[in-house]
Structure 1
Amino acid sequence: MLSLQDSVGSLAGVGPKRVDDLKTLGIFTVEDLLLYFPTRYDTYEVQSPSQAIDQQKLTLQGTVMSEPVIARFGYKKNRLSFRLMVENEIVMVTFFNQPYLKNKIELGKDIAVYGKWDGTHKRLAGTKVISVTTEHNQFDAVYPSNKAIKQPTIRKFIKVAFDKYESVIASLLPPALIERYKLVERKDMIREMHFPSDDESANHARRTAAYEEFFLFQLRLQAIKMENQQKNGISILYHNDELKEFIQRLPYQLTNAQQRVINEICRDLRRPVQMNRLLQGDVGSGKTVVAAIAMYATITAGLQAAIMAPTEILASQHAQNLAQLFEGLPVNVGLLTGSMTAKQHRELTAQIKNGAINLIVGTHALIQESVEYANLGLIVTDEQHRFGVNQRQKFREKGEEPDVLAMTATPIPRTLAITAYGEMDVSVIDELPVGRKQIKTSWLKSNQVGVAWEKVKQELLNGAQTYVVTPLIEQSETLDVQNAQDLYEELQEYFGPQYQVGLLHGRMANDEKDAIMEAFKANKIQVLVSTTVIEVGVDVKNASLMVVYDADRFGLAQLHQLRGRVGRGSRQSYCILIADPKNQVGIQRMQTMVETTDGFVVAQRDLELRGSGDVLGLKQSGVPEFKVGDPVGELKMLQIAKSDAENLLLTPSWETKTENLPLVEYLTIRKLQTHFD
């Protein structure tokens, strides 16, 4: 019996070698092949050169006015050229490395050629000769391909698969949704995506494919969320009076956003189901104190709380700050890291196991098998996207379904929050503490770098410190960007011996990096030249200036994170971006950084300029990349799909209805995976 889960090796013409070739494209099953959709279509409708746009792909038809000539150059390289009369105008046509086309091009005959139009020189870089009589309205689907497997082979295999399996392609979407949104059946959608009859059919199929992709994604995500909510968790019955007293003794007033978020978290703590909440807030918005309040609430209920940070220096900073914050209260803070001696580790883990330490701060050392907790009630992960799914899962298994609070300072616009964190409840701190000074940002060209050094000198004279960030460690022959090593030597000469210049980069050993950072925190280093290793979380309140070299090499979200390293204290702080962007998008990105310090605005702009796949600059961010749907341009469709998925899951006995059986089978095969494909 045919099944879409059959291996592609079951298709005629697909031998073991081709099975391996298809695997390089992520194609294993017949369904994978059928859902390997084209990125675009080449259409061969004849156009006029007078209406053509420069660099546009088009088809020109005309009469061959010169014999085709082949010129050879380099190893196995050649160029075939001839003149074509199109609408009383001569166009030079060139084909590269297709000498066999010479037999198709005859002097005085009419032909049609598809290729890229060079409007400045009235030339066509041809890619295909088309039959004048039969193929003008043909669509050619264009697929992502590689050296192992070419376009024509992919097209042929998809045709073979569709012809053989068409009868077993069942629609996954409930009929009511297909009818409501005027979608097409899955079989017709697949056919028209690969072999469209016309523009309208191709667009209709694409709309259906995008909705199906969003709906299936959201259905799996919402199922995970509902499953998690049904698990019995710990009902953390914290002491409200003690919590209020703690909040009142804080040396600053909480913002309305912080108070709102604390209420959301506290409601979750009391519920007997496991909390799975993301705390999202811009750099400096006060996430750490919110997490501290949640941890203190947990401790007042007689339970332990733990916070995991991605680096030792950040974990150490958290331990220090939390110890100060909870001074005089029954909170015992322990710091657990990988660099402890065996004896220190043994003593500390014994105190964690017997409950003597009720607030545990650490790195991934917190999830080692040797670490046992007395009664873990709350887990906080800082900069959660820097931990893998398995690491976070291991942490959750350390207690009896402890509540989970994940924090991120990477601003993710609403557009992506429902895709990246759809299975989590999201709390957003969307205002900065009162009196916090905005970081003043400016953009200079590389020939104005002297202005930046004058500003550094001015800040140093005022007793402040400066970061100087560059993308590379050592000189590169391929990239013309300032590198950290050269810059370090240059600045030592420029600012020494009056001021100390330090160098920090990712190739250093961890203890070396920590020593440099500690020296900078202690003001033993006044100018720190660094790669992006200083991006996450370390507080140096005396640092008032950030200079970023080759700023156009960084994503906007990353630049915003870097900028957030200054402005941590009471000083007015500044960020200077040095960049010579090569295009309009690069210029717009620099202008965005100058115009706003709002991380959510920056992230949304980054999304618009760079697309969703790259928005965080980190693949481990968990933002899925859709094959067809665009979560930015089609946000409304994504939100509708989310709502439809929730409604279906809340419908009694939806999985036993005949019309939903293909969908249930699809979900069963994927076993409601907790991570994205």
Structure 2
Amino acid sequence: MMKKKLLTPLAEIKNVGPKTLDKFKQLNLSTIYDVLYSYPKRYDDYNTYDLMTIEDGQKTTFVGRVVTQPLIRRAGFKRTILSFKLKIDHDIIMVSFFNQPWMKSRFEQGEIVAVHGSYQKTTQRLTATQLVPQNYLGHLMPHYTLRRVFSQESYQKFIVNLFKDSDLIINDVVPLYLRQRYQLLTDNQLLRLMHFPKTKQQQQLARRSAAFREFFLFQMQLQEIIYQESYQEVGIARQYHRIPIDHFVASLPFELSSAQKRVSQEILGDMAETKVMHRLLQGDVGSGKTIVAAISAFGAITAGYQVALMAPTEILAQQHFAKLKELLQPFGVHVALLTGSLQSKQKQQIYDDLASGRINFVIGTHALIQKSVHFKKLGLVIVDEQHRFGVNQRQRLIDKGEAVDLLSMTATPIPRTLAMTTYGNLDISTIDELPQGRQTIVSQWVSPKQLSKVYKAMQKQLSQNFQIYVVSPLIEDSEQLNLENVEALHDKMAQQFPNYSVGLLHGKMTADEKSSVMTAFESHQIDILVSTTVIEVGVDVKNANMMVIFNADYFGLSQLHQLRGRVGRGQTQAHCLFVSDPKSETGKKRMQIIEQTTDGFILAEEDLKLRGQGDLFGHKQSGVPQFQVGDILKDYQILVEAKNSAQEVLTHDPLLNRTPENRELKELLNYLKTKTKD
């Protein structure tokens, strides 16, 4: 009989008919591998506990005798409670099943039963979820995410039958020498203990090996990409001219920080090599990334190439255009702005000038990736706030040139854990110091009951001729979120400060309206700008010395830090007030952290802990890998070991074709790529 491999399609398994196969497809399971390596979501512990030692609220299983007739009563509309008393040794507790009236027939007065649920010690009541079969007692039972496609029992039975199949071959993915080094289980062992552990200790033992295996496979895919980019993707050595760059740096009205000098050299050095640059420039808000981008762009231009800088919003694109044109135009650089709001005639002129090479530096939004945009000789793409763009969007711009170098920029510092996962295929440059003379922003968490204190602080800033940002999370009222809306907040500020000009800015305004408001604020025709988070990135008004953020607990730490970075751009002491009344302990902790910490890297790590790896930037990022069992915070050391192991394997066998084990590993990696595309 032919042996079954893990990648054998489920359609080839005996007793899996069309209907069952359709159910597996609904769960995106198509092979034996998919089933066995989709681990349980949780384990129900059917070990029994003593009433004296159990903790309040603990999930538990009790075995006892039903001593009263089970009764059903109604509790409000469409709610039922099935209750009976259960005698456990010499104690009696009340057992209640909510909204399961059909369970009544399962219990008879006088019989011995096992019930599982959450126990409230003070009221001696078990809120039960299920009647436990006798053969479950003393076990950890797996519970899978099945979306009601299969029952838990039938799915468990299918997996048991797979393990019983003597023709099934379960090969190891992690090489023997690595398993021995890190004391890992074989795949056969970890699968059996992940699906059907007898104890929590067995499950934890299997979980460690499963986490390493998961990280190892991910790092193998990532390291393969790095290998291909480093050794197979032939770049163009763009030989920049040092003298004009030195003249440009000398012309700046300030001296570069040592960090700015270091990262500028890293980028220019990359561009001069014969491999394509993939570099991420990260720096805290106000650290001076724009100047580094200007030096990088000028370097590419001195080598005879064109540069494109893509920003996520028109406001940010306009800010970059104004600043970079002022800096680079005196050195013969023709800088243009391309956004969706330009008239057709203006766009066509820019298209023509890019195609002819007359424009050598274009700054824009998504308008840059349109089919009508062609370059004569694109050499460098700079993407600002890169996490706001999809991989495909970046690639469409890169594809407009030959072997184009990529510089991604972010003011949201990447925690080291995410840097190793999401950005593992990028070289990372970090600006880890603020420019000279820049003062730390004074931050304070204020209760909504202390608004008089807020208004007093605002009045002090206004009387010193400084400007203020006032930020609200929403444009309109929301029934779900009782938050200050931006229009009501604008009216409140206008009433509170009748002698000052109050402006309004939000995402629903047209591009021209936004531009008009920002121009008025920059020229100090507006004293107080009430805005949504549209001002979160890039806006640079040095006279804006205070920010007041209402409902601050609605935002993540990194987003609050981004917003705070809009003030303190000059040489004076800036202030940021966080108006908030958080109801949760997590919300209170966030307010305490943001009040005490101005280091974006520390905040990014804290945000990752509080909000989870998929929500670092305030909204789910599709590029952040989601692991089944591995936790990139708790299992960081395992992640490091898995990365080193993947590099070691590829160093000895870059094409994964020298041993039967590596060839099987290559086959699995190729299969996982097809699953990712699905």
TM-score, normalised to structure 2's length?
0.93
Q: Which residues in structure 2 correspond to 1:656-675 (within 5 Å)?
A: 656-671=658-673
1:248 aligned residue? 250
Any idea what the Cα deviations from partners look like across 1:275-328, whole Å, max 9, x if unmatched?
Answer: 100001110111111111111111122222221111122112111111111242
CA 1:331–1:450 in structure 2 vs 1: closer, same or farther (change >3 Å)? same
1:201 aligned residue? 202
1:511 aligned residue? 512
Tell me if 1:555 matches 2:556. yes
Residue number among 74, 93, 109 corresponding to 1:72 in the alignment: 74
1:392 aligned residue? 394
In structure 2, what is the Cα distance between the partners aligned to 1:22 and 1:529?
Answer: 52
In structure 2, what is the Cα distance between the partners aligned to 1:16 and 1:407?
Answer: 50
Any idea what the Cα deviations from partners look like across 1:424-443, whole Å, max 9, x if unmatched?
Answer: 11111111112101111111
Contact 1:381 1:407 in 2 (8 A): yes
Q: Structure 1 residue 145: deviation in Å? A: 4.4
2:62 aligned residue? 60
Q: Which residues in structure 2 correspond to 1:89-488 (within 5 Å)?
A: 89-131=91-133, 134-146=135-147, 151-152=152-153, 154-159=155-160, 162-163=163-164, 167-230=168-231, 231-488=233-490
CA 1:54–1:26 in structure 2 vs 1: closer, same or farther (change >3 Å)? farther
In structure 2, what is the Cα distance between the partners aligned to 1:151 and 1:606?
Answer: 36
In structure 2, what is the Cα distance between the partners aligned to 1:36 and 1:75?
Answer: 39
CA 1:55–1:483 in structure 2 vs 1: closer, same or farther (change >3 Å)? farther
In structure 2, what is the Cα distance between the partners aligned to 1:342 and 1:218?
Answer: 46
* Range 414-423 or range 133-142, more displaced: 133-142
CA 1:3–1:532 in structure 2 vs 1: closer, same or farther (change >3 Å)? farther
The alignment partner of 2:628 has SS state of coil
Figure out how many residues of one structure are paired with residues of the other and give that number: 674
Q: Structure 1 residue 73: deviation in Å? A: 4.4
Q: Structure 1 residue 4: deviation in Å? A: 4.2
2:500 aligned residue? 499
CA 1:662–1:470 in structure 2 vs 1: closer, same or farther (change >3 Å)? same
* Range 555-564 or range 359-368, more displaced: 359-368
Contact 2:43 2:141 in 1 (8 A): yes
Q: Structure 1 residue 158: deviation in Å? A: 4.0
1:596 aligned residue? 597
1:581 aligned residue? 582
User: Which amino acid is the alignment partner of residue 609 of structure 1?
Assistant: L
Q: Structure 1 residue 638: deviation in Å? A: 0.7
Contact 1:166 1:187 in 2 (8 A): no
CA 1:12–1:584 in structure 2 vs 1: closer, same or farther (change >3 Å)? farther
1:569 aligned residue? 570
Any idea what the Cα deviations from partners look like across 1:149-182, whole Å, max 9, x if unmatched?
Answer: 5544543454455556971432222222222222
The alignment partner of 1:656 has SS state of coil
Q: Sequence identity of aligned pairs in percent?
A: 46
User: Which amino acid is the alignment partner of residue 410 of structure 2?
Assistant: T
In structure 2, what is the Cα distance between the partners aligned to 1:561 and 1:16?
Answer: 53
In structure 2, what is the Cα distance between the partners aligned to 1:521 and 1:13?
Answer: 72
Contact 1:475 1:486 in 2 (8 A): no
Contact 1:333 1:358 in 2 (8 A): yes
User: Which amino acid is the alignment partner of residue 93 of structure 1?
Assistant: V
Q: Structure 1 residue 61: deviation in Å? A: 2.9
Contact 1:546 1:566 in 2 (8 A): yes
Contact 1:313 1:538 in 2 (8 A): yes
In structure 1, what is the Cα distance between the partners aligned to 2:507 and 2:20?
Answer: 41
The alignment partner of 1:334 has SS state of strand
Q: Structure 1 residue 550: deviation in Å? A: 1.6
In structure 2, what is the Cα distance between the partners aligned to 1:602 and 1:166?
Answer: 52
CA 1:542–1:222 in structure 2 vs 1: closer, same or farther (change >3 Å)? same
TM-score, normalised to structure 1's length?
0.93
In structure 2, what is the Cα distance between the partners aligned to 1:594 and 1:389?
Answer: 34
The alignment partner of 2:425 has SS state of coil
User: Which amino acid is the alignment partner of residue 309 of structure 2?
Assistant: I
Contact 1:470 1:482 in 2 (8 A): yes
Contact 2:72 2:101 in 1 (8 A): yes
In structure 2, what is the Cα distance between the partners aligned to 1:479 and 1:18?
Answer: 43
CA 1:672–1:293 in structure 2 vs 1: closer, same or farther (change >3 Å)? farther
In structure 2, what is the Cα distance between the partners aligned to 1:277 and 1:427?
Answer: 7
In structure 2, what is the Cα distance between the partners aligned to 1:107 and 1:116?
Answer: 22
Contact 1:34 1:162 in 2 (8 A): no
The alignment partner of 1:246 has SS state of helix
The alignment partner of 1:228 has SS state of helix
Q: Structure 1 residue 147: deviation in Å? A: 5.3
In structure 1, what is the Cα distance between the partners aligned to 2:26 and 2:488?
Answer: 40
Contact 2:162 2:168 in 1 (8 A): no
Residue number among 29, 33, 41 corresponding to 1:31 in the alignment: 33
Q: Structure 1 residue 228: deviation in Å? A: 1.1
Contact 1:439 1:597 in 2 (8 A): yes
Q: Structure 1 residue 102: deviation in Å? A: 2.8
User: Which amino acid is the alignment partner of residue 192 of structure 2?
Assistant: R
1:524 aligned residue? 525
The alignment partner of 1:245 has SS state of helix
Cα RMSD over matched residues?
2.5
1:632 aligned residue? 633
Contact 1:12 1:160 in 2 (8 A): no
1:538 aligned residue? 539
Contact 2:656 2:666 in 1 (8 A): no
In structure 2, what is the Cα distance between the partners aligned to 1:454 and 1:501?
Answer: 17
In structure 2, what is the Cα distance between the partners aligned to 1:500 and 1:155?
Answer: 68
2:616 aligned residue? 615
CA 1:519–1:166 in structure 2 vs 1: closer, same or farther (change >3 Å)? farther
Contact 1:281 1:408 in 2 (8 A): yes
In structure 2, what is the Cα distance between the partners aligned to 1:540 and 1:523?
Answer: 10
In structure 1, what is the Cα distance between the partners aligned to 2:261 and 2:202?
Answer: 52
In structure 1, what is the Cα distance between the partners aligned to 2:237 and 2:63?
Answer: 75
In structure 2, what is the Cα distance between the partners aligned to 1:672 and 1:285?
Answer: 41
Q: Unpaired segments of 5 or more residues in structure 2?
A: none
Contact 2:47 2:140 in 1 (8 A): no
CA 1:159–1:246 in structure 2 vs 1: closer, same or farther (change >3 Å)? same
CA 1:121–1:550 in structure 2 vs 1: closer, same or farther (change >3 Å)? farther
Q: Structure 1 residue 530: deviation in Å? A: 2.3
In structure 2, what is the Cα distance between the partners aligned to 1:486 and 1:18?
Answer: 56
User: Which amino acid is the alignment partner of residue 563 of structure 2?
Assistant: L
* Range 336-345 or range 70-79, more displaced: 70-79
Contact 2:656 2:663 in 1 (8 A): no
Contact 2:306 2:360 in 1 (8 A): yes
Contact 2:615 2:621 in 1 (8 A): no
Q: Structure 1 residue 141: deviation in Å? A: 1.3
In structure 1, what is the Cα distance between the partners aligned to 2:150 and 2:331?
Answer: 66
Q: Unpaired segments of 5 or more residues in structure 1?
A: none
Q: Structure 1 residue 620: deviation in Å? A: 3.1
